Amino acid sequence: MKPEISKETIRGHTTTIVLNILNQGDSYGYAIAKTIKTLSHAAYDINEATLYTVFRRLEKNGDITSYWGNETQGGRRKYYRISPQGQATLQHNIDEWHFAKQVIDDLILGRIDEHE
Structure confidence at residue 36 (pLDDT): 96
Report if residue 116 sits inside a domain: no
Q: Which pLDDT does position 5 carry in this prediction?
A: 80
Residue 40 has pLDDT above 90, yes or no: yes
The secondary structure of 30-41 as a DSSP string is: HHHHHHHHHHTT
Q: How far apart are the first and last CA of the chain?
A: 36
**Number of structural domains the chain divides into:** 1
Within-domain flag for 100: yes
What DSSP designation does 114 have? G
Across the chain, mean pLDDT equals: 92
Q: Tell whether 1 is covered by a domain.
A: no
Q: Could you tell me if residue 2 is inside a domain?
A: no
Name the pLDDT band for 97 (thresholds 50, 70, 90).
very high
Supply the CATH number for residue 74's domain: 1.10.10.10
- Residue 34 domain boundaries: 7-110
How many Å apart are CA 38 and CA 66, to the nearest integer? 23
Kindly state whether residue 43 falls inside one of the protein's structural domains: yes
pLDDT at res. 76:
84
